[in-house]
Amino acid sequence: MIYPDLEQSVGADLGRVHFVGIGGSGMHGIARMMLSRGHVVTGSDRALNANTAALQQLGVKVYEGHRAENAHGADTLVITGALWPNNPEYLYAKENNLQLLHRSQALAWLTRNRRLVAVAGAHGKTTSTGMLVTGLLGSGADPSFVNGGVIERLGVSAREGADELFVIEADESDRSFLLYETAVALITNVDPEHLDFYGSREAFMRAFVDFATAAKELVVISADDPGALEVREMLPRSTCVVTFGTAATADVRVHNIDLSGEVSFDVSCGAETARVQLNVFGSHNALNAAGAIAVLLHLGSDLQTAAAAVADFGGTKRRFEFHAEVASVRVYDDYAHHHTEVAALLKSVKPVVGAAGRVIALHQPHLFSRTATFYAQFAAALENNADYTIVLPVDGAREDPVPGVTGELVANAFTDQARVAYFDNWADVVAHAAAVARPGDVFITMSCGTAYQIIPDFVAALIARFGDTECRFAADFKLPAGG
């Protein structure tokens, strides 16, 4: 993994910019923003996807695969932390003295001289950023934004706006959220993660304290999350803080939550209360919305306007995203890759499945270091909140394999082995999942890796089993060739 140099000086003119891994969730939005600023942008990725296709439609030259010649003519190379140090484009840039920027440094460059709202937290960042952007647009503002996922109703993850406001999802995994000149910091939660990088829980917590302390105007932080409460206690007394949550002490308080369908709740600030009906599920999304509303109040909105504007949020890609329904088996995908996220997601789904239906979870562990540290917590989250779980091999991403660390660690930690199955082979997963699924079930792939790619084959297997007369699909869903 390649970490950003937090002390690196970035030039005023980036020239021609080449992105290595341009199709990634954190990269394509920055590339889109660079293009809108007038830069010549090119990029490469190991495989083309919907993000690269969207950039190609805008005129960006995107190469499939990584070769040194892809970077020829570039002045600046933008990379992700997940890049391997032997990447040929990266090596070419070093050998030819191109300006090398981590994606977070490129994002910091874009936000210069803007009133920056940075959203951080172990989970909920992408959704909260999407809610905040939606709320600002609904309140009459026109912010620039770069999010980690596509905001469904806007169809993009990034866009240049006319206002001074700039909203970003800020990544805590490598301390890069400390790069930004933040005006308003929104902290969704502080659940210790990425300890392979930080080395200790204390260092992780300290980074959040530093992030919050640097906010020039305001810190909006959870009143419910234990880690957030701990961070708040460590902040200097001079820090301006607004809290949100279900706690009676919260400045922006959530209450009367209804989980019988898409979540609704009351939100109160002082003596005023507004009712909010969201288009997404789960109590965790009520809290995400409350954090966004708290920021909107600081930025000048009134409670009723803020609540109504946030309620228009329609979700983000890969956050409980519907793909298909076959014979009343509904198929979704979610980015959940932390055990707390997994538990929150599954709890939000349970009330809406129905008495006869079950929740079938497909879990792809992400990173060997995370799996080794938290496999028991993942097993508990899955066993306690899903009816049946299928576990895949670990998606190592930027990490080398670790002997003995496999998806079987998660599966073997289940108390009831009848409620879990582990498979090395994806074809076996498809066959098994299609065989155990029954009408009324909800099937969810959960990973920030590649597990979602199994969905078309799984849907095709369901159609082969149940027939194609009772089907509905998301607008962009495609069955595999011949399916």
Q: Which amino acid is at 259?
A: L
Residues contacting residue 404 through CB under 8 Å, at least 6 positions apart: none
What is the CATH class of 111-310?
A: alpha beta
pLDDT exceeds cutoff 70 at 92: yes
Whole-number pLDDT of residue 316: 63
Mean per-residue pLDDT for 378-407? Answer: 89
Q: What is the pLDDT of residues 115-170, one digit of tens each?
A: 999 999 988 888 999 999 999 999 999 999 999 888 878 888 889 999 999 999 99
Q: What is the pLDDT of residues 247-293, one digit of tens each?
A: 999 999 999 999 887 889 999 999 999 999 998 888 889 999 999 99
CATH 3.90.190.20 maps onto the chain at: 321-473
User: The pTM is what?
Assistant: 0.77
* Domain 17-103 coded CATH 3.40.50.720: yes
Rounded Cα distance between 207 and 200, Å, is 11
Whole-number pLDDT of residue 435: 94
CATH 3.40.50.720 maps onto the chain at: 17-103
**CATH topology for the 321-473 domain:** Protein-Tyrosine Phosphatase; Chain A (3.90.190)
Whole-number pLDDT of residue 197: 73
Whole-number pLDDT of residue 317: 62
Q: Which amino acid is at 344?
A: A
Q: What is the pLDDT of residues 173-204, one digit of tens each?
A: 888 899 999 999 999 999 877 767 788 989 99
Distances (CA, A) of 127 to 255, 261, 291, 313, 360: 20, 18, 11, 9, 23
Q: Supply the residues annotated as catalytic.
A: 125-126, 169
Sign of the alpha-carbon dihedral angle for 126, 131, 136, 140:
positive
Rounded Cα distance between 381 and 363, Å, is 11
Share of the chain above pLDDT 70, in %: 98
Residues contacting residue 50 through CB under 8 Å, at least 6 positions apart: 476
CATH 3.40.1190.10 maps onto the chain at: 111-310
